[in-house]
Amino acid sequence: MQDLLFEFISKYISLSNDEKNALLSLDLFRSVKKGTVLLKEGQNSKESYFVLKGCIRTYYVMEGEEKTTAFYTEMEAFTPPCVINKTPSENYISCLEDSLLLVSNSEMEEEVNSKFPKFDIMCRMFSEELLAKQRIDFDEFKTSSPEQRYLNLLQNRPDLIQRVPQYQLASYLGMKPQSLSRLRARILEKKS
């Protein structure tokens, strides 16, 4: 698991053995079972997540119905808005698979960044990439038809088709499960 982390970090910065040991000493790794709810609506949290293995989902419950907003899989990070805003959470975060996560908080991050300034540089670079990706994803979602959204998902995140229940995929794509079934059938029909 630590090899996965260090391989990811090496895309941004190189680490000395002291820096690697400092990270490992923080006890960041958490193994979480499928179905675990990491955060509920109304809870406060200081935790940020980085997925080393597995899949987590963020969603809202509106009028008794779950509305999926995102899936985070290997090498993706997520800081709930409630952590930044220091307010109770408005959404839920749950594990769709047994997952291996890095879990940190702002105090830990400040400590590491003050001891090793290059982590701050890496975090800034990673945050900028993440922000740009989210902006592109949001714009693409807002300007696409449901069929285009599904085709984009097939092209950009095909693993989700096998990993995520259809009703959650449908919610993520902004449609009902029945509509997604019809859409999938139509696309399969076009291919044959």
Looking at the domain assignment, is residue 169 inside a domain?
Answer: no
Looking at the domain assignment, is residue 17 inside a domain?
Answer: yes
Cα-flanking dihedrals φ and ψ of residue 71, to 5°? -125, 135
Confidence of residue 19 (pLDDT cuts 50, 70, 90): confident
Looking at the domain assignment, is residue 174 inside a domain?
Answer: no
Looking at the domain assignment, is residue 126 inside a domain?
Answer: yes
- How are beta strands 76-78 and 47-53 bridged, if at all? antiparallel
Report how many domains make up the chain. Answer: 1
Looking at the domain assignment, is residue 103 inside a domain?
Answer: yes
The DSSP bridge partners found for residue 39 are 93
Q: Is the pLDDT of residue 22 over 90?
A: no
Asked whether the beta carbons of 78 and 48 are under 8 A apart, the reply is yes
Q: How many CB atoms neighbour CB 171 within 10 A?
A: 22
Looking at the domain assignment, is residue 178 inside a domain?
Answer: no
pTM for this prediction: 0.87
Q: What is the mean pLDDT of residues 41-70?
A: 95
Instruction: Give the pLDDT confidence score for residue 94 in this predicted structure.
Output: 97
Q: What is the mean pLDDT of residues 171-176?
A: 93
Q: Is the pLDDT of residue 121 over 80?
A: yes
Residue 49's domain comprises: 2-143
Looking at the domain assignment, is residue 164 inside a domain?
Answer: no
SS3 18: helix
Cα–Cα distance measured from residue 96 to residue 36, given in angstroms and rounded to the nearest whole number:
8
Kindly report the CA angle at 68 between 83 and 161, in degrees rounded to 5? 125
User: 1 or 136: which carries more pLDDT confidence?
Assistant: 136
CATH code, domain with 28: 2.60.120.10
Alpha helices in the chain (DSSP H): 2-9, 17-24, 81-85, 106-115, 117-143, 146-156, 159-163, 166-173, 177-191
Looking at the domain assignment, is residue 189 inside a domain?
Answer: no
Long-range contacts of 173-179 (CB under 8 A, 24+ apart): 173/146, 173/149, 174/141, 174/146, 174/149, 175/146, 179/146
Q: Is the pLDDT of residue 126 over 90?
A: no
